[in-house]
């Protein structure tokens, strides 16, 4: 695995599917192998349903709420198996990976 991309979420049902699609689009013509892991902070708006629909691995924080930023950074180190780690906030994202070259 070349890259592990961590996406922390908290009530991001309206954003997370779009972000996952954009990441997949970027890597569709790349020779890099990658995985996307969503770390959810106990969303109540259907975020996990969207993530499951997109067939992306999800981890759910045991104590729901805004601690997910710290939790996600910690999980970045522990579960990341890619040679490189990426971290993209899904919260109201605006043009994720707007500048990239792979």
Query: What confidence tens digit (pLDDT) does each residue in 31-84 have?
Result: 988 999 888 888 899 999 999 999 999 988 766 555 555 555 555 555 556 666
Determine, yes or no, domain membership for 101: no
Q: Which residues contact 50 (CB under 8 A, 6 or more apart)?
A: 13, 16, 17
Q: Which residue has the higher pLDDT, 8 or 84?
A: 8
Residue 26, both tokens: 């970027």
Predicted structure pTM score: 0.72
| Total domains in the fold of the chain | 1
Q: Output the CA–CA distances (angstroms, integers) from residue 72 to 15, 18, 27, 101, in the order listed.
A: 18, 20, 22, 25
Whether the CB-CB separation of 12 and 93 falls below 8 Å is answered with no
What's the pLDDT score for residue 63? 66
Q: Is the pLDDT of residue 101 over 50?
A: no
Whether the CB-CB separation of 80 and 99 falls below 8 Å is answered with no
Determine, yes or no, domain membership for 12: yes
Domain with 61, as residue range(s), is 3-87
What's the pLDDT score for residue 61? 76
What's the pLDDT score for residue 17? 95
């Amino acid at each position: 695995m070349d890259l592990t991309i961590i996406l922390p979420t908290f009530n991001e049902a309206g954003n997370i599917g779009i972000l996952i699609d954009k990441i997949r689009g970027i890597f569709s013509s790349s020779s890099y192998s990658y995985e996307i892991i969503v770390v959810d902070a106990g969303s109540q708006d259907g975020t996990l349903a969207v993530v499951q629909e997109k067939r992306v691995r999800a981890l759910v924080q045991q104590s729901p709420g805004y601690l997910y930023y710290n939790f996600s950074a910690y999980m970045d180190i522990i579960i990341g198996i890619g040679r490189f780690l990426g971290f993209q906030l899904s919260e109201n994202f605006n043009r994720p990976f707007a500048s990239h070259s792979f």
